[in-house]
Amino acid sequence: MVGRSYIAALALICLCLFYHLEITAATEFTVGDSAGWSFNVQNWPNGKSFKAGDVLVFKYEQGAHNVVVVDAEGYISCKPKAGSKTYTSGNDNITLAAGTSYFICSFPGHCEAAVKIKVTAS
Ligand SMILES: *[C@@H]1O[C@H](CO)[C@@H](O)[C@H](O)[C@H]1NC(C)=O
Ligand SMILES: [Cu+2]
């Protein structure tokens, strides 16, 4: 009897751990899906839920765009502050922190053409 309930308890613990991992595992998102980091990508985050630790993958032809980490002001104005972190590989992985993150392309006219996203992670 003792052996049985011990095994049952272990099984329950394993299930709970598995469930916990399932709900906390990081998700990888390709920004813009098949179109990638491109014009009019701005609405791509709509309806998706993000959590801290999720990874955004920005895919684009190297040299055609870049990815600049900005704040709300930079997002709205399309003007990154000097020294803003900039990614240029064309296959950039950015891990989300909790809160709202803003990314734009700083090539002339691109951010204005909606190569920008705002993502809120829980
Ligand atoms: C980003 O992650 C992908 C796999 O998801 C990998 O192929 C790529 O090399 C990574 N990019 C960088 C810059 O490390
Ligand atoms: Cu661009």
- Residue 31: which CATH number? 2.60.40.420
Residue 56 lies in a domain: yes
Best residue for ligand 1 mutational test, from 27, 57, 95 (most atoms within 8 Å of Cβ): 57
Residue 57 lies in a domain: yes
Residue 71 lies in a domain: yes
In this predicted model, what pLDDT tens digit does every residue of 16-42 receive, in sequence order?
555 555 567 899 999 999 999 999 999
Smallest CA separation from ligand 1 atom 2, residue: 93
Burial-class residue 48 by CB neighbours within 10 Å (0-12, 13-18, 19+): exposed
State whether the beta carbon of 27 lies less than 6 angstroms from ligand 1. Answer: no
The whole domain housing 46 covers 26-121
Residue 112 lies in a domain: yes
Residue 69 lies in a domain: yes
Taking the chain (122 residues) in runs of 10, the rounded mean pLDDT of each run is 59 54 82 98 98 98 98 98 98 98 98 98 98
Written as six digits, the tokens of 11 are 């099984």
Q: Which atom of ligand 1 is nearest to the CA of 89?
A: 13
Residue 15 lies in a domain: no
User: Count of domains in the chain?
Assistant: 1
Smallest CA separation from ligand 1 atom 6, residue: 91
